[in-house]
Amino acid sequence: MFALPLVGVLATACGTEAVSKGGPPVTTASPPAASPPAAATMPSAVADTVRRRDTTRAKIAIAAAATPVGATAPAREKMALPLLPTRTSHDSLSYVVTIRAGERKSEWPVKGPDPLIGSVLPAKRIIAFYGNPLSKRMGVLGEYPVEEMLARLDTEVRHWREADPSTPVQPALHLIAVVAQGDPGRDGMYRLRMPDSLIERVHTWARSRNALLFLDIQVARSTLQAELPRLLPFLEQPDVHLGIDPEFSMHYDKEGLKPGAKIGTMTATDVNYAVRTLAELVEAKHLPPKVLVVHRFTKRMMPNPRAIVLDPRVQIVMNMDGWGPPWLKFDSYRDYIVADPVQFAGFKIFFHNDVKSGEALITPAELLRFVPRPLYIQYQ
């Protein structure tokens, strides 16, 4: 495996990633509502009746879910949905249920430690481009020439500034620095560590935009205890932060499996190790607090999030990962972020996979209605 050119190795890793993220995120939500019979197979009058009936039912259901009993006219106006007109009734219902679930969850906002001086969150919203520059298939970071990629990042940052002028936007690049592999490699760990020179190169790109750099770890059959210490010299930089991806952690009930064969697992013990390590680094090097992004799109990826210990020196983002139609992503945000408060919320958008069935990308205006509002947005 390691005898292959580096780009070939990463292409294989991306293929592994596609196995696990090639389908929509697992969700407890019901499947999409059955579509009415095609108009071409029915008399036009019957087809029109079906359309009117389904449209009316959807509008009634959305209004009932969105508007509290006895709501005044201003309250009804406040609940006007910012959904794109192309969204389906299924999207709309899921969206409203997710909003209401957040509003009813008294644990939001999380009553964690007060932010220290220099904390990024919640004062700013992070807009991050994700991937690896050695592969066009692993995300936007490697899909385009550097200047074009950075220009696209500028565009997304501008969109978020326009959508929410009250929250300053902090751009970021999110590099997969330890990449899960389809083959074991010499040490049997099924992961490939990116060279220091690549990390330094991406760090230079980030600094050209006053952006943060996130280093993401896919441990595969290795461990955080083995992978994180190597990255500490980079994390000593005040603008470098950390991401960990349970999807590719082949431990606990996934022992012996290849990355991508099944969705992996990390526990609060793993996250707490990362928190302690970062907190000690912040203390020892007199750094501003670090941001730790944890990816999640199934329950089993992080089965005990309530056991994560908060520390003012490390700000934890639970990032809703995975792709699919809007209703499925809304459901996933409700089930894996809203339902399990940790500290801060994130939301991932896939430029290509999220639009495979013709849907438009989820917009900043749509996400800003959620409770909690996501403060970390990742684009792949």
Question: Residue 36: its pLDDT value, please?
Answer: 31
Task: Quickly list H helices, the chain.
Answer: 6-21, 44-66, 73-78, 89-104, 140-143, 146-163, 196-208, 224-235, 268-285, 326-333, 364-367
Residue 72 lies in a domain: no
- Tens of pLDDT, residues 300-317: 999 999 999 999 999 999
Distance CA 183, CA 313 (A): 37
- Tens of pLDDT, residues 186-243: 999 999 999 999 999 999 999 999 999 999 999 999 999 999 999 999 999 999 999 9
Distance CA 94, CA 15 (A): 31
Residue 225 lies in a domain: yes
Residue 38 lies in a domain: no
Residue 87 lies in a domain: no
Residue 60 lies in a domain: no
Residue 324 lies in a domain: yes
Enter the pTM of the model: 0.83
CATH number of the domain where residue 317 is located: 3.20.20
Q: Token pair for residue 72?
A: 């005044």
Residue 179 lies in a domain: yes
* The total number of structural domains that make up the chain: 1
- Tens of pLDDT, residues 265-304: 999 999 999 999 999 999 999 999 999 999 999 999 999 9
Residue 84 lies in a domain: no
Host domain of residue 129: 6-21+105-379
Mean pLDDT, each 10-residue run in order, the chain (380 residues): 33 35 32 32 40 44 48 48 94 97 96 96 98 95 97 98 98 98 95 98 98 98 98 98 98 93 97 98 98 97 97 98 95 97 98 94 98 98
